[in-house]
Amino acid sequence: MNTTLSALIVFGCLIAAVLLGRGLRRVLPQEHLSADSRDVIKLAIGLVATMSALVLGLLVSSAKGSYDTERSEVIQMAAKVAFIDRVLAVYGPEAAEARAHFHDAVEEAVQQMWPEEARRPAQLAPSAQAGNVVYGVLQALSPHDDAQRKLKEQAISVGIDIGQLRSLLVAQSVPSISKPMLIILVLWLAIIFLGFSALAPPNITTIFALTVSAVAVSGAIFLILELDQPFGGVIRISSEPMVNALNQFAK
């Protein structure tokens, strides 16, 4: 889903509601805009505004929770990458080949998850070939003592954990924001702006206030959709933890 286009569509819908409210104000009989009628309309708008605020808060919380979860998994993956590299370094020169294959696999994974080209989509699915090669060279290690045997077991265990985290990121890449809920929310927001516009006096100040409010609401929708796509768009998970882990390889 194109987040910028979606936010612009929401903004257009709200501005259209404002313009429609202006038109309704001109054609409605004066008794429909009496003090009693205004009070009833304000109560109705207040109810819709309360429901909209609850749904908007739930969507923000859901998107932020999903974003934080995947960010935490990336940090865990970076920590495990750095740990397995140290394990192989402690193992000794016999693990040099396994360490080299592991470095290549990690570099490939970083390039796939954070492509240099902004328009290129992130590829979260792990490379089966690279994973099999790394697993094979780890299994091929021949420990000479108990210490190396434990290090080999740790390296294999942590390598499996990294693969599981990568697969978990793939499973979580499905959008968590419900489109019907988002459409209903935009409909409620349009009703609110329609009511405000119909009640507000026709002057530049009220038009400006409603336009600014529409921009703010559209920005909130943009934020929700961006957080729901943590490996793409403007607000995406940083590659810094994985890059730092790669930089430690040379040390």
78-125 per-position pLDDT tens digit: 999 999 989 888 888 888 888 888 888 888 888 888 887 556 677 777
The pLDDT value recorded for residue 119 is 63
Q: Which pLDDT band holds residue 236 (cuts at 50, 70, 90)?
A: confident
State residue 118's pLDDT score: 53
pLDDT tens string 204-233: 888 899 999 999 999 999 999 988 888 877
Give residue 117's pLDDT.
Answer: 56
206, with CB counted inside 10 A (0-12, 13-18, 19+), is middle
Which of 201, 195, 183 shows the shortest CA–CA distance to 20? 195
Closest CA to 156 of 176, 136, 128: 136
Which tops the pLDDT comparison, 249 or 8? 8
- The pTM assigned to this predicted structure is 0.81
Note whether 18 and 193 are within 8 A (CB): yes
**CB count, 10 Å around CB of 184?**
14
pLDDT mean over 117-134:
74
